[in-house]
Each structure stands twice: as structure tokens, then as C-alpha cells.
Chains A and B, each alone.
Chain A
Amino acid sequence: MHIVVCIKQVPDSAQIRVHPVTNTIMRQGVPTIINPYDLFALEEAMRLRDKFGGEVTVLTMGPPSAEDSLRKALTFGADRAVLLTDRFFAGSDTLATSFALATAITKIGETYGVPDLVFTGKQTIDGDTAQVGPGIAKRLGLIQVTYVAKVADFDPAGRTITLERRAEGGTQVLKSKLPCLVAMLEATNEIRRGSMENALRAARAEVVKWSAKDAGVQDMSKCGLKGSPTIVKRVFAPSARAEKAKFIEAPEGGNLAEALIAEVFARQPNLEADLTALARGF
């Protein structure tokens, strides 16, 4: 069995700083991490491999420095790492990204064996779109199952998979066929601690690096800026509200909490009656 896990190296978003004058992202010195959502995909893929045998290949697209994240994935226990890196990919939106990754997955299939499953995280923490997973699935003609909370059953011989999928108001239990793409939900498992053996292997392992051409991209106009139907016209910081908050202080000898409540109900006159009704159990 062969599983491909797509990961992305992202800035540790809590630490992103915006330049106060130019409103641009200050990337220098910002630490990068594997997109946290992708770790659930990686762990789930490795659990299936551990149980049913086979290999896990991690794939990312990004600058040469994204090799760090791939090595990290190897220390967790992935078997192989492929880095898709080329200046032609710069400025890709989600459609162009899904094209590049899908092309690379096809190439991975030709080189190392056709994948039975492709795993992705729910979304990334920098783009937050959740669109690349479905994009890859459509490009490859794979069945797509997103927001997966659990792999309930897996039958590699019968080539079926049963998945619990988070839906609005409940959980769908779906049975589908391989190959398919699974986007894992967060908090569904916990990434293992890499073993010493894996750490040593990762340090020595060669990360496969492919340019667009290496990955089999024929039509460069489908990559990067050119292949992106969306255009970011404007990036800006949100404007502050005209007026700042009105600060409430405790009145002389009075109670700050009561002063706040008086202010709240003065501004929302109907709220008190409604809350009271609620408190009375209506």
C-alpha cells in the first residue's frame, strides 16, 4: 500500500508581524512549522501503514527551505519525502497549487507506485481556505472525503474504506472505494514522538527535489501566477473604528460590576427583559 500525505510549511502564525507602515508581512526570522492540521493527516496515514504495511510519502510544494518540514516528517516516521520547488510555482493560488500537487502525485505514482490514498489536513493555518484538498482530488479524479474524524474501517484487499465525516449537525458514516483523498479533521489523533532511529534516518535521508519539469508539468501556464484565476488586488490592515471603547470605571464608593451592567442595559434596553425571562426559565 502506498499513501501520499500532502503537507505545507507555514509561518508559525502567532508570531507573524505586520510592518506598521507598509502593511506587509515581516517574514524575516519568523519560525516555520509544519501546518499543524497536516500532522493529523500524517499520523493517520502512518497508523494505516503500521497496521496494513506499505509506505508513506510526504509531499510539499514550497521554497527550498521547505525541506526542513519534510525532514521533520521523516523523523516522525514517513518513509519518503518529495519537495516540489520551482520559481514557476511562485504566486500560486489554490487552483494552481492543486494542479502542481496533483501533477506531482501522478509522478510519484509512476516512480514509487500508484497511491491508494492521499491524505491532507483540513486546511492550512496561513491560507485557511480548505480548498487545496478538494482541488487535488478533482484534478486526479479521486473520491474526496473532507472533515474526516475517524477511519472506521479499512479493507485494502476489498479496496474499500469507511470514514466518519464531520457534517453539519452530526457525523456522516461513508463507505467509499480506493483510491480516495481524505482530509483529516483536527484533534483526531496525536502525532507520535519520532524514534531515535527515525531521527538518524531522517538526518541521512535524501529529500527528493523536483522542479516543475521533473514533476511532469507540461503546461507551465497552469502554474504559479499565470495558472491562478484569482488576483489579490489589495492587502490592507483593517481600519480602527472611529471611536474607541468607552471606558467604565467604578463610581465613587460604588460597584464596577453594577456600573457595567447599567451601561449594558442602557445601550441594549430590551436585553434585560429577555435575559430575565430566560433566567425565569421561559
Chain B
Amino acid sequence: MSEPKTPPAPAAGGRASTKKELPEHFKAYKHVWVYIEQERGQVHPVSWELMGEGRKLADKLGVELGAVVLGAEGETVRGAVAEAFCYGADIAYVVADPVLTDYRNEAYTSAMTDLVNTYKPEILLLGATTLGRDLAGAVATTLLTGLTADSTELDVDTDGSLAATRPTFGGSLLCTIYTLNYRPQMATVRPRVMSMPIRVEKPVGRVIEHKLGVAEDDIITKILSFLPDRDSNKANLAYADVVVAGGMGLGSPENFQLVKNLAAAMGAEFGCSRPLVQKGWVSSDRQIGQTGKTIRPRLYIAAGISGAIQHRVGVEGADLIVAINTDKNAPIFDFAHVGIVTDAVRFLPMLTEAFSKRLSAHSRDKLAS
């Protein structure tokens, strides 16, 4: 959680120096849990990314990895449980009830807090999606425990506590947050921040089925309808293979078209840095960075982006980062692999043309052969 309102205090007496002992009744809390998020028949890939991370934490602690699956009884829940074992679960906790058909905070919070209070995990990880954030905030408050939002790194400290690192102060610094004397230690992680683990075919293991403690009549909120996104591209940015993005170096909203052109020529997705969204040049679903999308493409081309930490944490997982910027001292060149010191506005059209030529020439060769 934590919006640290106090600047990091080097002096004693600040939060950094607080010593906290885990109360006796929390010592029974063991094992690492990952919430397997699924809505309308689909498991969100962030859940598998978290299973990969949860497996590492569980192995370090020498405990089990549990997968939590909530939903209506049926194929979807059974499928999610079966998959969870292929992604490393030792055990699955399932609450299957028609009340959980669609996500509603009241019912899901009840199911999750009841599971936690009954089976007592020490760590609970959720995806930082709209669903995960809505659920995590409510569950943590109900359990009165700590929650670290949008973690970019998870580790186990020498004393066995979860060390969750996240950007803070608008992404200008990183901080490592602990929940020392409450359990479970909760954290959310954005999609694509962690890499996707390898799926290994495995049989279904131990499954614990738990009853939902609330009935439909207890739930005040009713779902009238669901309107799926018309623009299916919206969801693809985070999972795209190639991404081209532009920043303030483009100079004007019209020049953002140059980014779109290159993306189109490469069959890539396009995105932008935060200032362009704040200026209203580009819609917020295209924002890449800590407060936007995290991407892990094979190739990322950043044009006219200076590379603030808030942007950096969103793109660091890319296999290859190419940066184009007029300022050779721009921070983006500290984490890009390949740099071009030039004006993106002039260079992008040339790059677009060169890519088009190369890809179509290649394609003709292939067709001829």
C-alpha cells in the first residue's frame, strides 16, 4: 500500500526504523497464495505470471503455493483449477457458487476473506487489474492488513518477510515495503511486470472446496448487463510483440501520427508516455509506464521519450529497447539497448519507409521461393 507521506527519514524514529514483532496468533499463517482471476470464462494471464513469482517465493520459504479460484460452478472454474496445477500450484482453494458468476466486490470480498481466515496464508498476491485492485483494497481493509499496490519486484527477506518493491512519488523513486506484524502480507502486481512461467502439463492435485458464506439475497449490487469493448485492440498493447511509442520529443499532437505509421508498417501496437496523455494528445489506454500499461515486447521503439522512472518501469521487461532522442544524455539511454541520437520527427518517416521496404522485399523473396 503506502503512499508514504513522509519523505524517507534517515533519522531514527521514522517508519524505516520501526521494529515490529509478529504477534503469536499470526505465526500459524503459512504458504503463498495467488488469486487466479477469471471473468467470463477467461483466466487473466497476470494470474499465471503471479504463479511464476509465487512459486519462487514459496520455494524460498519452503512452503506450498496455493491457487485461489472463485466463480460459478462449472467448466470455467474446473478449467482454471486444472491450469493452476500446470503453472505450479501445490493446492487449489475453490469457492464455486452461482453468486460468484460475475465479479461483484461484496461477494468476492466475502469469499476471499473467509478463505484467508480459514486457511491462513502468509502471502496473498493479486493482479493489479481493475478487478484485482478493487478486490485487494477491500480484502486488505477487511482483514486490517498491509497491501502493497503495483509491486515491480517481490522477494523474501532473510527473516522470511515479503519485501515488495514499487515505484513511489509518481515514479521518481523505488521503495521496498514490508508488512511485518500483520498477516497475510498482500501485494498486487500489474500485468506483464513478471514474466510468464513455462506451463508444464500436470494432473490436478489437492483441491479444497469451500462454501460461500453469503447468498444472492445478501448481495445488494446487481449486474444489469455487460458491454464488451468494441475496440479489441485496446487490450493488446500489454501483450504485443512489437511496440512503438512516442513522447514529448514529438513536439506536437499531429506528429504522433508518425508513431502510428511506423507501428502500422511493422504490424506493431502503438503507445505513448504519460505527458502525452496528460496533454490530451493520446487516450489514456495507450499510456505506457507505471500508471499506464506495462509491456514486455520483443522489440520496443521509444521515439522522443526522455525515459523517466515512471516510464522505465513499464518497459524494462522488453527484450530489445531502441531509443530515439535528440538529447544523448536523456535517461532513456541508460536502459535502452540501442540508441539513435536524432530528431524522431525527421527519423520516424525514414524508419517507416525502410521497415516497409525490408519487410515487403523479404516477403516477396519468400513468396518466390
Residues of A at the B interface (CB closer than 8 Å) are 11, 13-14, 16, 18, 22-25, 27, 36, 90-95, 97-98, 124-135, 137-139, 143-147, 162, 164, 166-177, 186-187, 225, 228-238, 240-241, 244-248, 255-258, 260-261, 263-264, 267-268, 271-272, 274-276, 278-280
Q: Give B214 Cβ to nearest chain A Cβ, in Å.
A: 13
| Of listed B133, B339, B366, residue having the most chain A CB within 10 A | B133
Q: Mark B330-365, 1 if CB is under 8 A from A, else 0.
A: 001111111111100001001101110011101100
Q: A173 to B225, alpha carbons, bound, how many Å?
A: 5
Known: A129-B147, A230-B177. 6 other contacts (CB 8 A): A126-B170, A138-B137, A138-B138, A147-B130, A168-B37, A173-B227
B363→A279 contact, CB < 8 A: yes
For the A-B complex, the count of residue pairs with Cβ-Cβ distances under 8 Å equals 333
Given known A-B contacts A144-B105, A171-B227, A232-B16, A94 and B173 have beta carbons under 8 A apart: no
Q: A50 to B290, alpha carbons, bound, how many Å?
A: 36
Q: Which of chain B's residues have a CB closer than 8 A to the CB of A130?
A: 133, 137, 149
B220→A235 contact, CB < 8 A: no
Q: A146 to B132, alpha carbons, bound, how many Å?
A: 11
Q: Which of chain A's residues have a CB closer than 8 A to the CB of B347?
A: 256-257
Smallest CB gap from B113: residue in A: A138
Q: Which of chain A's residues have a CB closer than 8 A to the CB of B140?
A: 95, 131, 135
Q: A255 to B352, alpha carbons, bound, how many Å?
A: 13
Q: A106 to B246, alpha carbons, bound, how many Å?
A: 46
**Contacting A16 at CB < 8 Å: which of B106, B169, B175, B323?**
B169
Q: A36 to B291, alpha carbons, bound, how many Å?
A: 13
**Contacting B7 at CB < 8 Å: which of A27, A95, A240?**
A27
Q: A217 to B7, alpha carbons, bound, how many Å?
A: 25
Q: Which of B97-147 contact A (CB under 8 A)?
A: 102-106, 109, 129-131, 133-134, 136-138, 140-142, 144-147
Q: Which of chain B's residues have a CB closer than 8 A to the CB of A170?
A: 226-229
Q: Give B151 Cβ to nearest chain A Cβ, in Å.
A: 11
**Contacting A234 at CB < 8 Å: which of B16, B332, B336?**
B16
B213 at interface, CB cutoff 8 A:
no
B148 at interface, CB cutoff 8 A:
yes
Smallest CB gap from A146: residue in B: B134
Q: Could you give 28 example pairs across A and B, Cβ below 8 Å?
A: A11-B170, A24-B7, A91-B5, A91-B15, A95-B145, A97-B3, A125-B170, A126-B3, A126-B170, A128-B291, A133-B137, A135-B137, A143-B106, A146-B134, A167-B103, A169-B229, A171-B227, A175-B223, A231-B18, A238-B174, A245-B334, A247-B339, A257-B347, A257-B351, A258-B354, A267-B338, A275-B266, A275-B359
**Contacting A245 at CB < 8 Å: which of B40, B222, B323?**
B323
B299→A172 contact, CB < 8 A: no
Given known A-B contacts A235-B168, A244-B333, A280-B363, A95 and B141 have beta carbons under 8 A apart: yes
B322→A129 contact, CB < 8 A: no
Main secondary structure of the interface of B (DSSP, over half): mixed
Q: Which of B178-186, B204-212, B253-261 interfaces with chain A?
A: B178-186
Q: Which of chain B's residues have a CB closer than 8 A to the CB of A125?
A: 170, 291
B62 at interface, CB cutoff 8 A:
no
Q: Give A154 Cβ to nearest chain B Cβ, in Å.
A: 14
B173→A236 contact, CB < 8 A: yes
Q: A27 to B336, alpha carbons, bound, how many Å?
A: 30
B74 at interface, CB cutoff 8 A:
no
Given known A-B contacts A95-B146, A137-B138, A248-B339, A231 and B179 have beta carbons under 8 A apart: yes
Given known A-B contacts A255-B354, A271-B298, A276 and B136 have beta carbons under 8 A apart: no
Q: Which of B254-306 contact A (CB under 8 A)?
A: 266-267, 275, 278, 283-284, 290-291, 298-299
